């Protein structure tokens, strides 16, 4: 069973930065894996923020606008999301996700297909 554990959330003022981490442990994918970050505000649907596949192909949601950077450790067991110039609209619970990589590259800030595993989430709050 694959487990994803996020950390790094917190409260910052507008313009500040946070770095989210997601440690991936347990189990293994027989094929390649696509990793991503999602976020969700209360009462709203979960939306893709950024994704990266086994080839290193990255995709970001339009609202990121160059402010966030997704990366992963060389061993592939830790996923990161560097978030700069945070704005109040970025306030949400952020989730790490893992799924089998499809033939289609990540797009619109997420991996194509269905998420196999979710983390428990880490809260990000940005004040004006």
Q: What is the pLDDT of residues 42-63, one digit of tens each?
A: 999 999 999 999 999 999 999 9
| pLDDT, position 75 | 76
- 3-state secondary structure labels for all residues of the chain: CCEEEEECCEEEECCCCEEEEEEEECCCCCCCEEEEEEEECCCCCCEEEEEECCCCCEEECHHHCCCEEEEECCCCCEEEEEECCCCHHHCEEEEEEEEECCCCCCECCECCCCCCEECCCEEEEEEC
| pLDDT, position 8 | 98
Q: What is the pLDDT of residues 61-101, one digit of tens each?
A: 999 999 999 999 877 789 999 999 999 999 999 999 999 88
Q: Is the pLDDT of residue 28 over 70?
A: no
């Amino acid at each position: 069973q694959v487990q994803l554990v996020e950390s790094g959330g917190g409260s910052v003022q507008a313009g500040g930065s946070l770095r989210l981490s997601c440690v991936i442990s347990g189990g293994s994918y027989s094929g390649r894996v696509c990793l991503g970050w999602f976020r969700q505000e209360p009462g709203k649907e979960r939306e893709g923020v950024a994704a990266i596949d086994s080839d290193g192909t990255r995709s970001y949601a339009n609202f990121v606008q160059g402010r966030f950077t997704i990366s992963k450790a060389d061993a592939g067991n830790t996923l990161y999301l560097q978030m700069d110039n945070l704005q109040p609209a970025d306030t949400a619970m952020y989730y790490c996700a893992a799924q089998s990589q499809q033939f289609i590259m990540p797009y619109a800030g997420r991996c194509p297909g269905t998420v196999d595993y979710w983390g428990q989430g880490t809260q990000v709050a940005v004040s004006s």
